Chain A
Amino acid sequence: MMEFSLQHVIEEIALLRYETALISGALILLVVGMLSKEEVAYKIFFSLTLLSSMFFVDVGDSGISHSGAISVDPMSAMLKVLFAFISLWVVFFHSSYRRYEHYFLILAMVLGSSLMLSANHLLLFYIAIELTSYSSYLITGFAFNRSGYEASIKYLLFGGISSAIMIYGISLLYGLTGSLSISEMVVNTQTGPLYHVGLICLFGGLFFKIGLVPYQFWVPSTYQQAPTDGVAVLSIVPKIAGFALLHRLFIKFEILSDPIYTQIIAVLGIVTVLMGTFGALRQDNIKRMLAYGAIAHSGLILPTLLIQGEQGGLAFIWYVTIYAIMTMAIFMVVSMYEDFGIKEMKDMKGIGIQFPMMGSLTLLILIAQIGLPPTAGFTAKFYLFSAIWNEYQVTGSTIMLAYLVIGILSVVLALFYYLKIPYHSFLGTAETSYFGNFSIISKSIVTIFTILVLWIFISPEFLNKIAFNINFIGW
């Protein structure tokens, strides 16, 4: 066994600066919350925690800790910054009073997700996933109503089962390789059927996190019932972390060299795209529709993991970054409409005419979600389809061509469901006019997001530079 000394522990913690900052922030937040009933106080503290943790990320860092449990690299560093940056906006959601525990749980979720990125040891990995999951279950119930509890319990049950499957897989792998550290397991790789059963069970747990078929059942009800600011984080942070982890496991366990795995995963991805797309077509509730849309997005991010080399990694970074930005924006918009009491699309009739500014912003963000120019959503889809085309050109694999066709088809269908919102809000005739106005702060933040989405389309070099500093192959 390895020797541990104080020196090593300090080194270990140094690698976990970001997480340490989050943990301490989260704990102090609990105290602040108990002492002060002022919402502003813990909102400020929440944002300070996230902001300061961002400064602890060192993009240049890379390497595995002494104990082999933690690995740090530019990819995880970039995603950690993204997580903190995206979660920050939660405080601006103009919604009803939130308890401080809410913000604590969001911090916990970010913490769990960033641990997922750094985990190089299956035990740590499991704990990270559980931390993320438990905070997600709780946040789902934070609307404190009957349907919220129902969604939360549903989510918990599904999550519990998938955790059980995953830990079963981990135990199989442990038994076969004699280690829980990923680096060591890879060295002792076995090829027997049990090894593959173990791997598949392990992936199953992650597929649950990212909402991939056949683990997508929790998504719609969770999205619909959870508080909107919670859903915004929930749909971005743990999902991206799940994908990144899956990416790393695919590389470490050399999954992609096995065409059978690639084929099966690609088929699951295609089914996910179809499931999300066709599910979304039938929805009338805004958040439920967005949930199915998010499932379709998951299906579209998946192929980037199956494409070896820089093209896949580049497409991945692009897609998840833009997904994070536009998803945050759309949920902010949704919460603004919720303040008007609007939850169903048919309630939006004529609101775009009465508030043209808000209507146009919503429209632009939805255009990005669909993936049309002139928005960054198009750039992301463009990279994605380029990468898939190129993979097809290089390998000639039919499943990639099928993915391309289905992906493009899903863009067409995305139009039908995403555009329902502007369709009702601009073309519908309002029965009554809406009272009140949108808050200036929320409106300006949505404007900033919209400008960001447009700006990345016009000058993408900035994001590309970031994406290129990341070494996808070695991570």
Chain B
Amino acid sequence: MTDSLLTLIIFFPLLITVVILFLPGNKELLIKEISLGATGVQLILSVILFFSYDASLQPADWSSAFQFVERTKWISLYLGNHGWLQIDYFVGIDGISLLMICLSTFLLFLGIIASWNLNRNVKGYFILYLVLSTSVVGCFAALDFFLFYVFFEFMLLPMFFLIGIWGGPRRGYASIKFFIYTLIGSLFILAVMIGLYLSVEDNSLADQTQEVVHSFSLVNMMDGGYIQDGILTPGTSIEFWGMNIRWVAFILLMAGFAIKLPAVPVHTWLPDAHVEAPTAISVLLAGLLLKIGGYGFFRIAYGIFPDAAIDLAYPVAIFGMLSIVYGGLTAMAQNDLKRMIAYSSVSHMGFVLLGLASFNIQGASGALFQMVSHGFISAALFILAGVIYDRTGDRGISNFSGLAKAMPIFTGFVVVFFFASLGLPGLSGFVGEFLVFLGSIGSDQLPKWIGIVSIGGIVISAAYYLWALQRMFFGQFWTREKAWEQTMYDLTGRELLLLIPLVVLVVLLGIAPNVILGPVNNSIEFFVNQSFEQSQLYISQ
């Protein structure tokens, strides 16, 4: 079964959409149950994946770094005097993608529970949802750039409609803004992808045909299988506005993924999208879609262009720091709870950039840990914001006070996750941020002050979380509208079902970070060392 386990995880939900497509639209409960089952199967399969992953493997090069590899020829086209173009269905995982896939399937499963009360256009919603889940998981497993790009693009449409049809009052604006930002980013990626495949050849295939085989394989790109005189071949003398074209390509990739991450100054789509999106979609947006930006940095920008990455570490770190500080300060100024959480996401994703820019093992594992931990925490925070919104149709921080009295259990959860998010030791948020600081301060590429200023980010997040706690949850019980007081009942069973696993995970990761750092350790070590070696090699060419 392990032969095609990955394919099964990726495409199982898509298969189920076909079933749902033929169900009548009024069988709402059945559709929900089937969708829950589909993501449940996906979750179980990924747990199997997690436990059958061989973490002790120490790869020698990228081509041996991946497990559960499946590779079938998809498109091979003859380009005449330019040889062949080879696109494969090529999937496989290393530690980094393993974590991302497990995170995805878990949150996708929770997302279905979070959307259980949906009653408008149920069939369409769950079809789009399952299509989204296929493309998210596919994105994390793809080892062929073209395949990655297809999954990456295919995510946009379901998301556009999920926000645009089932969203809040300004959903049209928010969904268009989301779509346009992400699409512009993905076109940068497209431009680099075309340049890359024209400069890369797959030697293993070239032997048989005696002609150049241009491959999209990411493994091949990371291992440096370049043709001579290709446009993006290391050592190329082609310049664009006085900058080496490889550097330009790296910047384009960074820009593309930074929009997805999102990093300041291209983050402005995120608060709008979050505020308008329904709760479950906010969970996915913060928990998964942002991670694809981070994953793109790991796998593509840093994996393929380590020479440019090391050289440009300083500006990347500056953008990371800016996101941390600016995102935090903006979060403090928000009155909408969901908007505040959205900006805090921007702030926390800044750590991913900073960790990667430090280019050492602590930094990279910190960045990865931060992605996973933020996935859980932000998911929980958006569910909590959704709880208030479900009861009152309002999320204004200044519209509530003393909620602790009316909703003690709810408040308990809020406190746990606020503290987890601001980085209290013992909860998961702390580990990632701590590792990133270690990385950035110990980095050879970065000046110390960037790390030190970023520590200030923790103080800022403490400030806005505590301030929000104080304003909303403590003090006299009061709501802006009298009618809301009756509706402020405590958490329901379904909401508890959503939050308890998240609490368990956040605490577990905080106490025993090795649960996930263990399996990925070798992969991260290899990623950092290999990228460093490659960069030295490329620069010397």
Q: A310-B79, A419-B179 are in contact. Are A427 and B165 (CB under 8 A)?
A: yes
Contact B82 A311 (CB under 8 A): yes
- Closest A residue to B124 by CB, please name it: A356
Least CB distance from A430 to B in Å reads 13
Residues on the A chain within 8 Å of B194, using CB: 382, 385-386, 389
Residues on the A chain within 8 Å of B197, using CB: 386
**Most A C-beta atoms less than 10 A away, residue of B77, B164, B179:** B77
Contact A390 B198 (CB under 8 A): yes
Residues on the B chain within 8 Å of A385, using CB: 190-191, 194
Residues on the A chain within 8 Å of B407, using CB: none
Contact B176 A423 (CB under 8 A): yes
C-alpha spacing A311/B75, complex, angstroms: 17
Residue B184, interface by CB 8 Å: yes
Number of interface residues of A (CB under 8 A): 37
Residue A373, interface by CB 8 Å: yes
Least CB distance from A317 to B in Å reads 12
From B77, B154, B195, give the contact of A464 (CB < 8 A): B77
- Closest A residue to B229 by CB, please name it: A393
Residue B4, interface by CB 8 Å: no
Least CB distance from A399 to B in Å reads 14
Residue B490, interface by CB 8 Å: no
Contact A412 B187 (CB under 8 A): yes
Contact A427 B171 (CB under 8 A): yes
Contact B76 A415 (CB under 8 A): no
Q: A310-B81, A311-B80, A412-B187 are in contact. Are A393 and B75 (CB under 8 A)?
A: no
Residue A408, interface by CB 8 Å: yes
Contact A390 B82 (CB under 8 A): yes
- Closest A residue to B188 by CB, please name it: A408
Contact A464 B81 (CB under 8 A): no
Residue B149, interface by CB 8 Å: yes
Contact B190 A408 (CB under 8 A): yes
Name B154-188 residues within 8 Å CB distance of A. Answer: 154, 156-157, 161, 164-165, 171-172, 175-176, 179-180, 183-184, 187
C-alpha spacing A415/B182, complex, angstroms: 12
From A372, A393, A415, A468, give the contact of B230 (CB < 8 A): A393
Residues on the B chain within 8 Å of A415, using CB: 179-180, 183
Residues on the B chain within 8 Å of A373, using CB: 149-150, 153-154
Least CB distance from B116 to A in Å reads 22
- Closest A residue to B240 by CB, please name it: A401
Residue B52, interface by CB 8 Å: no
C-alpha spacing A215/B143, complex, angstroms: 46
Number of interface residues of B (CB under 8 A): 39
Main secondary structure of the interface of B (DSSP, over half): helix
C-alpha spacing A378/B198, complex, angstroms: 17
Contact A423 B75 (CB under 8 A): no
Contact B81 A460 (CB under 8 A): no
Residues on the A chain within 8 Å of B81, using CB: 309-310
Name A358-382 residues within 8 Å CB distance of B. Answer: 363, 367, 372-374, 378, 382
- Closest B residue to A405 by CB, please name it: B191
Contact B175 A393 (CB under 8 A): no
Q: A415-B183, A460-B75 are in contact. Are A310 and B80 (CB under 8 A)?
A: yes
Name A322-373 residues within 8 Å CB distance of B. Answer: 353, 356, 363, 367, 372-373
Least CB distance from B400 to A in Å reads 30
Contact B172 A314 (CB under 8 A): no
Residues on the B chain within 8 Å of A195, using CB: none
Contact B77 A460 (CB under 8 A): yes
Residues on the A chain within 8 Å of B179, using CB: 415, 419
Least CB distance from B283 to A in Å reads 22
Digitize B44-85: 1 where CB-to-A-CB distance is under 8 Å, 0 elsewhere: 000000000000000000000000000000011111111001
Residues on the A chain within 8 Å of B198, using CB: 386, 389-390, 393
C-alpha spacing A428/B156, complex, angstroms: 19
Name A422-475 residues within 8 Å CB distance of B. Answer: 423, 426-428, 459-461, 464, 468
Residue B121, interface by CB 8 Å: yes
Residue A240, interface by CB 8 Å: no
Residues on the A chain within 8 Å of B76, using CB: 461
C-alpha spacing A401/B238, complex, angstroms: 12
**Most B C-beta atoms less than 10 A away, residue of A373, A382, A385, A392:** A373
Residues on the A chain within 8 Å of B184, using CB: 412
C-alpha spacing A419/B238, complex, angstroms: 37
Residue B285, interface by CB 8 Å: no
Residue A411, interface by CB 8 Å: yes
Contact B75 A461 (CB under 8 A): yes
Residue A404, interface by CB 8 Å: yes
Contact A427 B80 (CB under 8 A): no
Residues on the B chain within 8 Å of A396, using CB: 238
Residue A416, interface by CB 8 Å: yes
Residues on the A chain within 8 Å of B191, using CB: 385, 404, 408
In the complex, the 10 A-B pairs of residues with the closest C-beta atoms, listed nearest first: A310-B80, A393-B231, A373-B150, A427-B172, A427-B164, A373-B153, A464-B77, A389-B194, A408-B187, A386-B194
30 A-B pairs whose Cβ atoms sit less than 8 Å apart in the complex: A310-B79, A310-B80, A311-B79, A314-B79, A314-B80, A353-B165, A372-B183, A373-B150, A373-B153, A374-B154, A378-B153, A382-B190, A389-B194, A389-B198, A393-B198, A393-B230, A401-B240, A404-B191, A408-B190, A412-B183, A415-B179, A415-B180, A423-B172, A426-B161, A426-B164, A427-B172, A460-B75, A461-B75, A464-B77, A468-B78
User: B residues touching A (Cβ–Cβ < 8 Å)?
Assistant: 75-82, 85, 121, 124, 149-150, 153-154, 156-157, 161, 164-165, 171-172, 175-176, 179-180, 183-184, 187, 190-191, 194-195, 197-198, 230-231, 238, 240
Q: Give 4 A-B pairs besides A374-B154, A392-B231, A419-B179 with Cβ atoms closer than 8 angstroms.
A: A356-B124, A378-B153, A386-B197, A468-B78
